[in-house]
Amino acid sequence: MDENDFDTLFPEGLSDYSEEMLTRNFSMKKQEIQNLIESSYKKEDGKYLMERENPVILSIMRALDISLEDMPLFTPEEILAELNRNPASNAKPAIDTIFPLLVASLDSVFISHDDGMVTNLHLTEKGDLKGIFHPAGKPWTRILIPGKI
């Protein structure tokens, strides 16, 4: 596998999944999975080659490549942590008030990617933020952030 694809999908891509999802599916913690990935592949001439096939690593790599159980773009806990780091404001709004407003602020946003693709963000009727992607020119819709905590 090409070095850039490997680095994007696997060690870096682990951050897209919650500890709970990884433990539930693989009975391993994120760090254990990262160690397993790193010990199972060898970098050679800009490519990563699997040193020895292993059903566990194959299952993990497949799941990380195709799983739809990733984490939202941001969580209420992350927003609350950011608000608490802001020294300029002593009166911080409640997270259940600000979270839907932050999600709604991303409605009708278009994100242009380096490869020329554009992702469209829109609110659903329930207040969730959905992303419309166009892999291979075909639209694909996915809820990225739930509108309610």
pLDDT tens per residue, the chain (149 residues)?
888 888 877 777 788 888 888 899 889 999 999 998 888 899 999 899 998 888 888 888 888 777 777 777 777 778 778 777 777 666 666 777 778 888 889 999 999 888 788 889 999 999 899 999 887 778 888 888 887 76
Distance between CA atoms of 38 and 12, rounded to whole angstroms? 12
pLDDT of res. 28: 93
Please state the pTM of the whole predicted model.
0.56
Residue that has been written with the tokens 């913690």 in this structure:
29
Cα–Cα distance, 132 to 109 (Å, whole number) = 11
Alpha-helical segments (H) within 1-147: 3-9, 19-26, 30-40, 55-66, 76-85, 95-104
Instruction: Read off the amino acid at residue 106.
Output: L
Q: What is the pLDDT of residue 135?
A: 77
- Confidence (pLDDT) at 137: 79
Coil, strand or helix at 89:
coil
